[in-house]
Amino acid sequence: MKIAILGAGAMGSLFGGLLAEQNQDVTLLDINEAHLSAIRTQGLILETHGRRRSLTNLRVSRPDKTESIPELLMVFTKSFHTRAALSDVSRVMGPDTTVLTLQNGLGNVELLREFVSLEQIVVGMTTWPADMSRPGAVSSHGAGKIRLMSADGIARPGVEAIAALLNAAGLQCSVDPNVWSAIWEKVAFNAALNSLCAVTGCSVDGIAAVPGGLILARAIVGEVLAVAQAKGIDTDRASCMENVTQAIAKHVGHQPSMLQDVLAGRRTEIEGINGAVVRAAREENLQVTHTETLLELVRLVQARVSGFAG
Ligand code: NAD
């Protein structure tokens, strides 16, 4: 399958690298010149399961320079860059191009719908972690899974083929009609822990420093799941509460991506997480007081560190 990865940062390079290792035809599309040029000269340095190697069989390009039509376009930009990135590649996308999003947050399918029809979109959720240590080098420590389905809910052989491709690359993918539950459950987790850490500067375990930290995190999870329920999406409340409690107990020293973004003076994905939950809650006439407070606090922190005021 001819695969293009749009947004080849930590996640895009990890997925692209693992697929290229299976001799898939992979092109990484990104605007980060330092990253592209490092891959051109030394290959993509990929480290997974403690094994480091250099992959030289990937093509790299700026999105506006690519010429070939991909069969699968995997979108791995931060959600606030999706529209600009898609605008640069829409001219090479055909009616047979499938677009896959495994990005965090809500609203990703709606953004892709501005460029392709719903039946071309595959949506999912992944628990794989990835980091970019320097331009040209990405790593993943730990293991993860992927759950995905057609955005219109219709089972198609093409979706099974994508899952098979990802499985062959060791990415543990299943086609699952309950993907929206998984997406909302991850949004609940991120809305609580990412925002609390971004605002306080605490690592995840630091939230346990005062009793109110865990109470607040669980209250946010409860609010998000109530919105999901109002939207007709069933979630596993007990396991979500357990996951957030366990993360606070065990993720010692872990800085969620939103805290890393704040520390680096970058824009965060708060609008696609807490922001999207607040918008969805309003549509359902629900109050999500804690989620909304954290949204405004992260906006303030973000405005201070990055100058981005929404
Ligand atoms: P990242 O910042 O490492 O990578 C994003 C890439 O997009 C960057 O390389 C950037 O240069 C590129 N980009 C920005 N604008 C672009 C444009 N116009 N055209 C092409 N490329 C452009 O982010 P990431 O950590 O890989 O996360 C990507 C998505 O995956 C996010 O939605 C994130 O929430 C989600 N996610 C991340 C992880 C993780 O562990 N990193 C895990 C699960 C999900």
Ligand 1: residues with CB < 6 A are 6-12, 29-32, 63, 76-79, 81, 84-85, 88, 103-104, 126, 129-130, 132, 257, 269
Q: Which of 81, 100, 268 to mutate to test the pocket of ligand 1 (most atoms within 8 A of CB)?
A: 81
Position 74 scores a pLDDT of: 98
Angle at 87 between CA 81 and CA 92, to 5 degrees: 130
Catalytic residues: 186
Residue ranges covered by each domain of the chain: 2-177, 180-306
Q: How far is the CA of 130 from the centre of ligand 1 (A)?
A: 10
Q: Which two tokens stand for residue 296?
A: 């405004």
CATH topology of domain 2-177: Rossmann fold (3.40.50)
Residues 222-263 pLDDT 10s: 999 999 999 999 999 999 999 999 999 999 999 999 999 999
Q: Which atom of ligand 1 has the smallest separation from the CA of 103? A: 32
Position 246 scores a pLDDT of: 98
Q: How far is the CA of 13 from the centre of ligand 1 (A)?
A: 9
Flag whether the pTM goes above 0.75: yes
Residue nearest atom 17 of ligand 1, based on CA coordinates: 85
Q: How far is the CA of 104 from the centre of ligand 1 (A)?
A: 10
Q: Which atom of ligand 1 has the smallest separation from the CA of 126? A: 43
Position 142 scores a pLDDT of: 87
- Distance CA(214)–CA(192), nearest Å, equals 10
Position 309 scores a pLDDT of: 82
> Could you list the mean pLDDT of each consecutive 10-residue stretch along the chain, which spans 310 residues?
97 98 98 98 97 97 95 98 98 95 98 97 98 97 96 96 98 98 98 98 98 98 98 98 98 97 97 98 98 98 91
Q: State the first-to-last Cα distance of the chain, in angstroms, to the nearest integer.
A: 38
CATH topology of domain 180-306: N-(1-d-carboxylethyl)-l-norvaline Dehydrogenase; domain 2 (1.10.1040)
Q: Which atom of ligand 1 has the smallest separation from the CA of 35? A: 9
| Secondary structure string (H, E, C) spanning the chain | CEEEEECCCHHHHHHHHHHHHCCCEEEEECCCHHHHHHHHHHCEEEEECCEEEEECCCEEECHHHCCCCCCEEEECCCHHHHHHHHHHHHHHCCCCCEEEECCCCCCHHHHHCCCCCHHHEEEEEECCCCEEEECCEEEECCCCCEEEEECCCCCCHHHHHHHHHHHHCCCCEEECCCHHHHHHHHHHHHHHHHHHHHHHCCCHHHHHHCHHHHHHHHHHHHHHHHHHHHCCCCCCHHHHHHHHHHHHHHCCCCCCHHHHHHHCCCCCCHHHCHHHHHHHHHHCCCCCHHHHHHHHHHHHHHHHHHCCCC
- Distance CA(141)–CA(119), nearest Å, equals 34
Q: Which atom of ligand 1 has the smallest separation from the CA of 130? A: 40
* Nearest Cα to Cα of residue 191 among 276, 286, 305: 276
Residues 167-178 pLDDT 10s: 999 999 999 999
